[in-house]
Amino acid sequence: MMSQPPQPPPPHFASRFAGPPQPAGFPPPALPPPGPFRGPPPQPFPRGLYPPFPGGGLPPFLPPPPPLHPPPQWPPTLPERPPLSWRPVTPPRPTPEASDVPGDEACDGDEAWLSRFVRRRRPIAAPPRRERGLTADDAAQAAGEALRAVARVAGLCAAWRRRGDEATPGETAEAEAGLEELRALVGPLRDPGALERLRAGLERGRQKRKRRQQRRQEARDARQEEEARRAERKARIDLWRARRAQEEEDRHREKELKAAADSVLSEVRKKQADTKRMAEILRGLEKLRKLRKEAAGRKGVCPPPAADEAFESEVENLKASIKKRTELYEAEERALRVMLEGEQEEERKRDMEKKLKKEREKLLQQKRNMDSKLFGDPEEFPFSHVLEPFTQYYLQAEYSLPALLQIRHEWDQYLVPTDHPEGDFIPPGWVLPSPPSSDTWATAVR
């Protein structure tokens, strides 16, 4: 097996980036290590440069292969940006001198990069300041100060008139100072542009307050309408609940009455069955006594007449009692049947009334639908609507007898005999319009 003394690695390859383990005596492949900012990932070894040798690696007479990629550099160098055409070319700033210390090369590169970046920064222009116009508070304050200055000057003039002599130089200077102050205060108020802007600002403020008040009023009206709708909805719900509670109570009462009547009727029928059974028992006793009496007569034994009379008397009393009870129970049964029939009749009447009410509501709804098709929805056309005169014109026959007679007279002018070729019958009811033929016409009808 061939061997070769170890060779040092290339100067650009660090020992910590050693490749995979190789046979002793051969250097590792000169490939950059994988990782961020360290070049692309490793590629497969090219064929042809590494022929298979018995010991693996390279032959002893070939030098190490050159690196496939240049060594990585950090920090990366940025290309210089050419100066923009619209910016004045400024002389380059002096770059910081490179340090002679080997470890400061990266810091020098960073400082140079930052210097180039700062030179490329665009200056930020300050926003223009808007002139503050005359406000209402300023105008009111200036007017108040002007009135006070006028009062002071007027007081000085009044004092001069009362004395009747000329003013002293100090008083004259004070008056002149008051006039100058008055002119300085009144100057902004005499500017037509400032006054116009002040008037426009006041008008905008007034319109803003007006819109705010209008929104508040609309919100207040909306709340009131919502409260009214809520109260109306609550009233309808309470009415519906009361009606349902009353219906449930009536139904429960009817059920209780029916149950009570059924229980009483069942008791009466039970008592009637008992009386019938007692009557059958009594007839059986009579038949049994008769058979025993016949058997005793055949044997020559005859009971005394007093025993027959006592038995017949007791039987008659029992028959009278049974008959009386039977009549009483039949009367109770008839009364209960009448009561049940009355309740059933009332229930049938209530059902009939409900049915008639539903039919009337259905007919009224159909009439409202027909009227809305013919004359429009009355809720959509209040009295102040633009179509109200036309509605009054076409419905005047319903409220005015002279109008009805006039309309009937106008219609009677077109009466013809039955056999007239162009005659036709008057329709018995309203002629409803046909449904719209298209969606566009439907939107116009609505």
C-alpha 12/C-alpha 69 separation (Å) is 11
Number of residues that this document lists for the chain? 446
Structural domain contains residue 149: yes
State both tokens at 110. Answer: 């960073």
Mean pLDDT of the chain: 75
Q: Provide the 3-class DSSP secondary structure of residue 431.
A: coil
Task: Give whole-number Cα distances, 57 to 1, 3, 14, 40, 386, in Å.
Answer: 12, 11, 20, 24, 107
Using the predicted structure, report yes or no on whether residue 403 has a pLDDT greater than 80: yes
C-alpha 205/C-alpha 199 separation (Å) is 10
- Residue 34, preceding bond cis, omega within 30 degrees? no
Structural domain contains residue 269: no
Average pLDDT rounded to a whole number, residues 119-138: 66
Nearby residues of 37 by Cβ (< 8 Å), 6 or more positions away:
72, 74, 76
Amino acid sitting at position 329: Y
Using the predicted structure, report yes or no on whether residue 9 has a pLDDT greater than 60: no
With vertex at residue 391, the alpha carbon angle to CA 389 and CA 397, rounded to the nearest 5 degrees, is 105
pLDDT band at 360 (very low <50, low <70, confident <90, very high): very high
Structural domain contains residue 91: no
Structural domain contains residue 401: yes
- Tell which of 226, 255, 285 closes a domain: 226
Alpha helices in 120-168 (DSSP H): 136-163
pLDDT band at 382 (very low <50, low <70, confident <90, very high): low
Using the predicted structure, report yes or no on whether residue 31 has a pLDDT greater than 60: no
pLDDT band at 36 (very low <50, low <70, confident <90, very high): very low
Q: What is the pLDDT of residue 346?
A: 83
Structural domain contains residue 216: yes
Domain count, the chain: 2
C-alpha 370/C-alpha 121 separation (Å) is 80
C-alpha 128/C-alpha 138 separation (Å) is 23
Structural domain contains residue 263: no
- Tell which of 179, 209, 226 closes a domain: 226
Nearby residues of 81 by Cβ (< 8 Å), 6 or more positions away:
116, 120
Using the predicted structure, report yes or no on whether residue 212 has a pLDDT greater than 90: yes
DSSP string, 413-445: TT---TT-TT--PPPSS--PPPPPSSHHHHHHH
* Span of 131-140, 187-196, 375-384, 434-443 with lowest mean pLDDT: 375-384
- Tell which of 193, 226, 259 closes a domain: 226
pLDDT band at 131 (very low <50, low <70, confident <90, very high): low
Residue bearing the bigger pLDDT, 273 or 194: 273
Residues 319 and 282 sit within 8 Å (Cβ to Cβ): yes
Can you tell me which residue has the tokens 């008057």?
A: 426
State both tokens at 381. Answer: 């056309």
Phi, psi of 378 (to 5 degrees): -65, -30
Using the predicted structure, report yes or no on whether residue 57 has a pLDDT greater than 60: no
Quote the DSSP letter at residue 55.
Answer: T
Average pLDDT rounded to a whole number, residues 152-168: 76
Amino acid sitting at position 320: A
Task: Residue 185: give the domain boundaries.
Answer: 136-226
Q: What is the pLDDT of residue 15?
A: 45
Q: Report pLDDT digits (tens) over 70-113.
A: 555 555 555 555 554 544 455 555 554 444 555 567 778 888 88
Greatest Cα-to-Cα distance within the chain, rounded to the nearest angstrom: 182
pTM: 0.35
Structural domain contains residue 288: no
Amino acid sitting at position 257: L
C-alpha 28/C-alpha 17 separation (Å) is 10
Q: pLDDT > 90: what percent of the chain?
A: 13
Q: What is the pLDDT of residue 262?
A: 79
pLDDT band at 322 (very low <50, low <70, confident <90, very high): confident
Structural domain contains residue 184: yes
Nearby residues of 265 by Cβ (< 8 Å), 6 or more positions away:
333, 336, 337, 340
pLDDT band at 44 (very low <50, low <70, confident <90, very high): low
Q: What is the pLDDT of residue 130?
A: 57
